[in-house]
């Protein structure tokens, strides 16, 4: 996990997507036929949250998120996704 | 019911769908002609809830939910559905 | 009225629809030309309600509801409708 | 005004429409060319109201309401309309 | 200004439109090319307001309102408009 | 700036548009290619504001607002725009 | 960063976009294939914020924002964008 100097605003979270292996070390397999195929990644930066949307994930958490969540960012050769915490389904 | 290591966020609930028998042990039959055919499953993980959406189902509850509720996940060969508690109709 | 073992969630109500007679014992006739023809039934189970949507109907109440309200459920050969209390027009 | 045994829920009001005379005793004439032609009727039953929508009309009030307001109900040969109080324009 | 016996509900206001002169005594001219041509009238009855929409205009105020605001009513040969206070642009 | 006798309601503001010069004395140039070309004007009357929308501009402020904001009004030969304060972008 | 005399209203922020270099001094590269390509700029003026939308960025912050955020303004030959703070993704 790279150390990035980005401060997301409000309830936004910066996620470094995991490599596109379909079977992970922890044994989770994401089926191709899923309606909205979830993706896995690692949280690298979190915003301060808002009054209505407090932030509950932490830097370092491995998370699942929807396939079309977030906006792409590239930093020192690594791709990131900036998304709202509500786009994150679960911590695994 | 498998023991899974997934922590859903907010008001999300992880459900293991029951096998697709149309007549269950408890005698509930879900008609094919239903407008939005409900499905049956077992809750395997629940999120912490939010201020506006507290979680009321518990791990182990058998629940009915709408046919198109949730996002598919596969874990150690078992299919799950990640849904919001508001997608759950009832505990049976 | 059958005794069913279903616990609706939130502001949901389980209703057993009355037989489709157009003139009932209490004299209520529902006109065919009504824009949204109301139906009659008996409440068989109610949810706990929510902070914003408290439940006011009780098990045993005869209620009127909109024609397209709710989701069909079958239990021991009887058809039920699971609906939100806001779909119920009145107690008669 | 008939005495009916219907308890409307929430902010609903049961109204007995006046006969379709275009000039009433009190002299109100509703023009045919009105965009949304208001109708006149008598309130015969009111719901308990809700926290956000308290009920302010009373049984016996003569009210004006929009042409397409409410759902038709027939009881002992009389037609009624079940509507929300917000569909009522004024007490006359 | 006629004295009418109508009690508007909630945040509704009854307005007697001014005659359709395009130049008024106070010198206001409403251009024909305006996107939403405002109209002038006199307030003849106001509702009690609601918690979220208190009433600030008074009976007798001359007001400007949007061209398509309100519902037409006729009373003793005079045309009125029943509108919400939020449809009123200004007091002149 | 003319002195007008109009009291806008709620969060409305009456603005006298500046002449359509594209380069102003203060040096601001509004590009023709702007997606939503802002306009300049002077505030001549403000409403009392509402609980959720307090008024922060003052009579005499020079403001920028969106091209399609507001409703046209003519008074003693001068064109005005009646708009909501939320249509105003900035004070310059 | 130019010193501009513009006071944005409410939760608006005035941003001076950075030159369109795709690799910046801090090493951030914004991919061309991004769904909604973020842009970089410097905050030059901020509004007072609102009760529901407090302002958290400061003048001088370098920020990332969505490609279609804001309204163009030109001042002394420099292009600016007026946007809401919620259009800003992160401070870098």
Residue F16 has pLDDT above 60, yes or no: yes
Residues 6+ apart with CB under 8 A from E21: none
pLDDT, tens digit, 9 for 90 and up, residues E26-77: 556 555 544 445 789 999 999 999 988 899 999 999 999 988 888 888 777 7
* Closest to A6 in 3D by CA, of A41, A52, A54, A43: A43
For residue E31, give the DSSP letter: -
- d(CA A48, CA A55) in angstroms, rounded, equals 7
- pLDDT given at position A15: 95
- d(CA C85, CA B40) in angstroms, rounded, equals 22
Residue B12 has pLDDT above 50, yes or no: yes
Average pLDDT in the B48-74 region?
90
pLDDT, tens digit, 9 for 90 and up, residues F82-91: 999 999 999 9
**Strand (E) or helix (H) holding D80:** strand D78-84
- pLDDT given at position C34: 44
Minimum mean pLDDT among C6-10, F18-22, F51-55, G72-76: which range? F18-22
The distance of G75 to chain F (nearest Cα, Å) reads 5
Touching subunits for chain D (3+ Cβ pairs under 8 A): C, E
Find the residue in C nearest to D9 (Cα).
C90
Interface A–B counts its CB contacts (< 8 A) at 55
The distance of C89 to chain D (nearest Cα, Å) reads 6
| C-beta of residue B68 within 8 angstroms of C-beta of residue A25 | no
pLDDT, tens digit, 9 for 90 and up, residues G16-25: 998 755 554 4
Nearest CB neighbour to C38, from listed D5, D68, D71: D71
Site from A22, A28, A84 to mutate, B interface, most B CB atoms within 10 angstroms: A28
* Closest to B26 in 3D by CA, of B37, B13, B40: B40
CA F33 to chain centre: 21
Q: Are there at least 3 beta-carbon pairs closer than 8 Å between E and G?
A: no
CA distances from B48 to A14, A60, B15, B51 (A): 22, 19, 15, 10
Residue G36: list chain A partners with CB under 8 A: 71
Helix locations, chain B, DSSP H: none
- d(CA C70, CA C73) in angstroms, rounded, equals 10
Residues 6+ apart with CB under 8 A from E10: D56, D86, E47, E48, E49, E50, E53
Average pLDDT in the A57-75 region?
89
Contact A6 G30 (CB under 8 A): no
- pLDDT given at position F66: 83
Residues of E with CB under 8 A from a CB of D: 5-10, 12, 14, 45, 47-48, 68, 71-77, 79, 82
pLDDT, tens digit, 9 for 90 and up, residues C17-26: 987 555 544 5
- d(CA E1, CA B76) in angstroms, rounded, equals 80
* Closest to F40 in 3D by CA, of F53, F55, F24, F51: F24
- d(CA F65, CA F87) in angstroms, rounded, equals 6
pLDDT, tens digit, 9 for 90 and up, residues D3-43: 678 999 999 999 999 875 555 445 565 555 444 457 899 99
Domains identified in chain F and CATH numbers? 12-91 (2.30.33.40)
Residue A34 has pLDDT above 50, yes or no: no
Residue E31: list chain F partners with CB under 8 A: 72, 74, 79
Strand G28-29 and strand A71-75: pairing? antiparallel
pLDDT, tens digit, 9 for 90 and up, residues G4-57: 789 999 999 999 998 755 554 455 655 554 444 578 999 999 999 998 889 999
> And the tokens for D17?
């429409």
- d(CA B62, CA B43) in angstroms, rounded, equals 7
Touching subunits for chain C (3+ Cβ pairs under 8 A): B, D
Residue C34: list chain D partners with CB under 8 A: 71-73
ipTM, 2 decimals?
0.73
> And the tokens for F68?
């399609």
- d(CA G13, CA F85) in angstroms, rounded, equals 16
């Amino acid at each position: 996990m790279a150390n990035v100097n980005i401060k997301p605003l409000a309830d936004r979270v910066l996620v470094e997507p995991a490599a596109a292996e379909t079977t992970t070390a922890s044994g989770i397999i994401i089926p191709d036929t899923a309606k909205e195929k979830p993706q896995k990644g690692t949280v690298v930066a979190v915003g301060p949250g808002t009054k209505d949307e407090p932030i509950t994930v932490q830097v370092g958490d491995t998370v699942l998120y929807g396939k079309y969540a977030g906006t792409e960012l590239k930093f020192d050769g690594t791709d990131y996704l900036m998304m709202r915490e509500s786009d994150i389904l679960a911590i695994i």
